Amino acid sequence: MQEAKENILRETYIDNNYYTVDLEDCDGYLFVHVDVHKWSPNVLKMMKCDWENLKYDAYMNGYDHIFTYTQNMKYSRLIDDSIQKAGEMYNPVHGTFDVGYWTLEDYYGN
């Protein structure tokens, strides 16, 4: 039996003094990873603005959804409360994560 191989491409979309946003394409599914370095209400406003640009760029590059996994979905909802829970995943080192997604056609589709 042949082992399944995933095609994973990861790149940094935003890297500033306040947060880093990495995008990961895993077999055609786009995942977003956010690491906040300094938190404040102004940083949240910046993140929301960048999020709008990211959604548009993702949609224009052929993605229908953006996925994320998090141990606390409320942080993802701060950025965009339209996130939907897709399920859970378990990592033996870090524990259980919620898997969520945003549907881009809700913003840009017909």
We report the CATH number of the domain holding residue 22 as 3.40.630.30
Number of domains the chain contains: 1
User: Domain for residue 52, yes or no?
Assistant: yes
- 2 lies in a domain? no
Q: Is the pLDDT of residue 32 over 50?
A: yes
Task: Report the pLDDT value the prediction gives residue 109, as an integer from 0 to 100.
Answer: 61
Residue 3 forms part of a structural domain: no
Range of the structural domain that residue 77 is part of: 8-108
Predicted local confidence at residue 6, as pLDDT: 60
Exposed, middle or buried by CB within 10 Å (0-12, 13-18, 19+), for 68?
buried
Strand ranges for the chain from DSSP E: 8-15, 19-26, 29-36, 65-70, 84-91, 95-103
